[in-house]
Structure 1
């Protein structure tokens, strides 16, 4: 038996390691050349402390309270030198990956499909040479080198972890480096280099209602999350918490992947979605911004986990709306992006 442990470092890098049954996270990391912080390895100093966001584990009782208090343990703090997982886990490591002598992964793949979904968005499919090497948390992003340049661009996965073909929704930017490549030069079979995964925007364990807010190509990470939830339901790991996605775009023809959302709504009985169009000339039944359509029934009096991915003006508008309305979600995870830089996450 082996478990997959996601180590999320404070510089945004995620490293996945395998942990054998009965093995501590610290030992598993060192076995795979990830030097997590430690001084004693005996549960005495507390140097190896991290925060377990997801998963089951045993901490035993061999550590000192000075290293990890009962209050810290109750909040999910762990000592990686004592933590023995009994399931897959996600652990926040409060240092940069470079200090642990590990680096973000690098992968090779080839262009499988480039499809113009609308004037505003392009879908890129990349067939990976070694799909087993690409493990990520649904919602995370990766850097893709732009062929013929020395630049890269960062995109969230729209496919689920474990798929041999990784897919991405890419905004079509006039004169954009990646947009220009995809619309003018890209050919099936072109070699691509990818670096990642990265990011702290990812789906956590669902324990209460979920509200997802997507703007434009910010829909991508939610497609990845929903794909995984459909798979888990098929495997018997469903949850009954209500989930609602509000997907906002500027124009009618910017709405893409609605067929996928219909599929998710059919496969996940507790999932529903609504679409919103900004254009005043639109005949869409819901016009305006996502903030105009966050009804009380999807906010659950604040007993809700909110996930938000979109351009900076949308993120700022939602933050302002929550503040003005006195809405304090139980947890709030958001990622804002601009066309020419990596996403910025907060939680």
Structure 2
């Protein structure tokens, strides 16, 4: 795989269903599972893209769900983080039933709108499991030594509930907790004033999280000086 490419260098190919074998499975919290897959006939991905995972019952009933990729393109495995939703057919199976060695039906990478080209100055405001695409962006920026082009603010309830919290902090992200004081920073979402230095010079902004988070985050970025026409939004919920 190329060590230095951008969206402009990619000739998109139609994605088709293939198989992904679970190589590792971790549950960082009771409601989250981190899967690392070996994907057959894998195509390279750009940070911000996602995969669809499809489950098939013996009677051929299927259920599917989309999950953002956390890994860098140079990672030999595809890393997905799954949030377990109550009564979630796919997330429940992946969290409670799936085991290392299981083979899943997958399709990807998918998404041309919500991906970073690694060359455009960008800011991310992400919340909860919506941090996943920003993690992929940060890992890619580190590998390409383009960390000066990407700034991230991540919001979670507490360190125990925010995926990749330690990695985000090590990468220099602004990490804010809504139910936990963090050093000198009191609990609460970032203010527009806090976001302004991160947003300065950004030519594209990424917002990812629940509908409630998106409704909060987008006005904050605009208040921080981000041109609303540059904001790209990806939101998720229990039913996708």
TM-score (norm 1): 0.59
Q: 1:215 to 1:325 in 2, by over 3 A?
A: closer
Is the 8 Å Cα contact of residues 291 and 317 (structure 1) preserved in structure 2?
A: no
Q: 5 Å matches for 1:190-205?
A: 190-199=102-111, 200-205=113-118
Q: Structure 1 regions of 5+ residues with no counterpart?
A: 7-52, 56-87, 92-101, 266-271, 342-347
Q: How many positions carry a matched residue from both structures?
A: 231
Matched, 1:135 2:44: yes
Compute the displacement of 1:223 (Å).
Answer: 1.4
Post-superposition CA distance 1:139-191 (Å, at most 9, x none): 11111013545101100100122433111111121222123212321111111
2:173 aligned counterpart, secondary structure: strand
Answer yes or no: is the 8 Å Cα contact 1:276–1:287 preserved in 2. Answer: yes
SS of 1:228's equivalent in the other structure is: helix
Higher relative contact order (CA 8 A, sep 6+): 2
**1:333 matched residue in structure 2:** 232
1:194-250 Cα deviation digits (max 9, x unpaired): 012212200024343x321111111111111122222223xxxx4644x32111112
Question: For residue 168 of structure 2, what is the aligned residue in structure 1?
Answer: 261
CA distance in 1, matches of 2:20, 2:226: 43
Match of 1:181 in 2: 93
Question: How large is the Cα RMSD of the aligned pairs?
Answer: 2.8
- TM-score norm. by structure 2 comes to 0.82
Alignment of 1:256-335 (within 5 A): 256-263=163-170, 265=171, 272-279=172-179, 282-284=180-182, 285-291=185-191, 294-300=194-200, 303-322=202-221, 327-328=226-227, 331-335=230-234
Aligned match of 1:76: none
Distance 1:246 1:322, change over 3 A: closer
Partner SS, residue 62 of structure 2 = coil
- Residue ranges of structure 2 left out of the alignment (5+ in a row): none
- Is the deviation greater in 135-144 or in 103-112? 103-112
1:283 to partner: Cα distance:
3.0
Is 1:107–1:195's contact at 8 Å kept on the other side of the alignment? Answer: yes
Q: Which has the larger radius of gyration?
A: 1
